[in-house]
């Protein structure tokens, strides 16, 4: 996906963008081609950028293939976290 900056001089385009803030638009060109003009919220934009991060996607694919998991107790043990005793204080 490509980002294109719109000049302040492009009044008609800016008006369409203002309308798109209120509701999604279908813009039709003189030849009949149609395009969707919709505001992208930050979350959607962040997802798109994340999907384009090849290193992250490779890491996630590798992690998804892992078949070994560890229990909560094993994780706590590895991290040196002890359970609090019945009084609520830590037993370290």
User: For residue range 42-89, what is the model confidence (pLDDT) as tens digits?
Assistant: 777 778 888 888 999 998 898 888 888 888 999 999 999 987 666 655
Q: How confident is the model at residue 10 (pLDDT cuts 50, 70, 90)?
A: very high
pTM attached to this predicted model: 0.45
Burial class (CB in 10 A: 0-12, 13-18, 19+), 37: middle
The per-residue b/e assignment along 58-91, b for 16 or more CB within 10 angstroms, e otherwise, is eeeeeeeeeeeeeeeeeeeeeeeeeeeeeeeeee
Q: What is the CA radius of gyration of the chain?
A: 25
Closest C-alpha among 49, 46, 37, 40 to residue 1: 49
40 with 49: CB under 8 angstroms? no
* pLDDT over threshold 80, residue 9: yes
pLDDT at 8 over 80: yes
């Amino acid at each position: 996906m490509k980002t294109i900056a719109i000049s302040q001089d492009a009044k008609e385009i800016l008006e369409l963008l203002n309308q798109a803030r209120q509701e999604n638009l279908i813009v039709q060109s003189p030849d009949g081609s149609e395009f969707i003009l919709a505001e992208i919220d930050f979350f959607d934009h962040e997802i798109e950028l994340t999907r384009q991060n090849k290193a992250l996607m490779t890491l996630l694919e590798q992690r998804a293939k892992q078949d070994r998991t560890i229990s909560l107790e094993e994780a706590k043990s590895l991290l040196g976290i002890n359970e609090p005793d019945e009084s609520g204080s830590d037993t370290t």
